[in-house]
A and B are shown apart, each in its own frame.
Chain A
Amino acid sequence: GAGVSQSPRYKVAKRGQDVALRCDPISGHVSLFWYQQALGQGPEFLTYFQNEAQLDKSGLPSDRFFAERPEGSVSTLKIQRTQQEDSAVYLCASSPDLGETQYFGPGTRLLVL
């Protein structure tokens, strides 16, 4: 079956530009997670949802970062007024429910110039 998909796969933004990154989870998966992976580092937790409810957003680095999942399926991570330090791979994962294995998408590589 189809796995987690993310779009775009690559995004180049000018500093100060707003960007939106999309995640399509595996069909029927209740939980959805966002991670940020800087170059040469492991993924770092940003936020997660159970259905449309955002249960934890403690990892979002600033108020420029915003995530939503309005209908409990597709999620969007929005970054406002991008900065160079936002350059990273943004990974999305989904799981059948909380406490179950997370399945990761291929990521969106964001480069802020």
Chain B
Amino acid sequence: AQSVTQPDIHITVSEGASLELRCNYSYGATPYLFWYVQSPGQGLQLLLKYFSGDTLVQGIKGFEAEFKRSQSSFNLRKPSVHWSDAAEYFCAGSSSYNTDKLIFGTGTRLQVFP
């Protein structure tokens, strides 16, 4: 079955530190992959997406993610975290034949200490 897994439920980092949020996928073929961020009381906002081509994807707010087929991973990174990055982050995937049916991971809550 198709699935997206986020192994880390909660991550805490200091402001200015680097960040990596993990995401693993299980799909029969190369999926379309997404990272969304959800702040309290706000809707999900798309940070970046991968469809094909360059495996390093740049997104908004200084985030990037790298697609690694050999590891079935699509980890999200940011070189220097800001306090405003504290939120819930969701990785999602969809199949190439049904690109609109997103399957989400369970999310990683990011806490940022000053």
Measured CB to CB, the residues of A under 8 A from B are 3-4, 31, 33, 35, 40-45, 48, 56, 91, 93, 95, 98-99, 101-107
Please, which residues of chain A bring their CB within 8 A of the CB of B44?
Answer: 43, 91, 93, 104
B residues 1-21 near A (Cβ < 8 Å) are 4, 6
User: Known contacts A42-B106, A43-B90, A101-B49; is A31 also within 8 Å of B43 by CB?
Assistant: no
State whether B100 touches A48 (Cβ < 8 A): yes
State whether A105 touches B100 (Cβ < 8 A): no
Please, which residues of chain A bring their CB within 8 A of the CB of B36?
Answer: 104
Please, which residues of chain B bring their CB within 8 A of the CB of A40?
Answer: 106-107
User: How big is chain B's contact interface, by range?
Assistant: 20 to 34
Chain B contact residues: over half helix, strand or loop, or mixed? strand
Instruction: Select from chain A the residue with minimum beta-carbon distance to B46.
Output: A101
State whether B106 touches A33 (Cβ < 8 A): no
Say how far B8's CB is from chain A's closest CB, in angstroms.
Answer: 13
Q: Enumerate the 10 nearest inter-chain pairs by beta-carbon distance, A residue then B residue, closest first.
A: A42-B104, A104-B43, A104-B44, A106-B43, A99-B99, A43-B104, A42-B106, A105-B43, A42-B107, A42-B105
- CB contact between B41 and one of A33, A41, A45, A106 (< 8 Å): that residue: A106
State whether A98 touches B102 (Cβ < 8 A): no
Please, which residues of chain A bring their CB within 8 A of the CB of B106?
Answer: 40-42
Say how far B2's CB is from chain A's closest CB, in angstroms.
Answer: 11
Instruction: Select from chain B the residue with minimum beta-carbon distance to A37.
Output: B104
State whether A45 touches B101 (Cβ < 8 A): yes
Taken together as a complex, chains A and B put the C-alpha atoms of A37 and B6 apart, in Å, by: 16
B residues 54-98 near A (Cβ < 8 Å) are 90, 92, 98
Please, which residues of chain B bring their CB within 8 A of the CB of A98?
Answer: 99-100
16 contacts between A and B (CB under 8 A): A33-B100, A33-B102, A35-B102, A40-B106, A42-B4, A42-B92, A42-B107, A43-B44, A43-B102, A48-B100, A93-B44, A98-B99, A102-B102, A103-B43, A104-B45, A107-B43
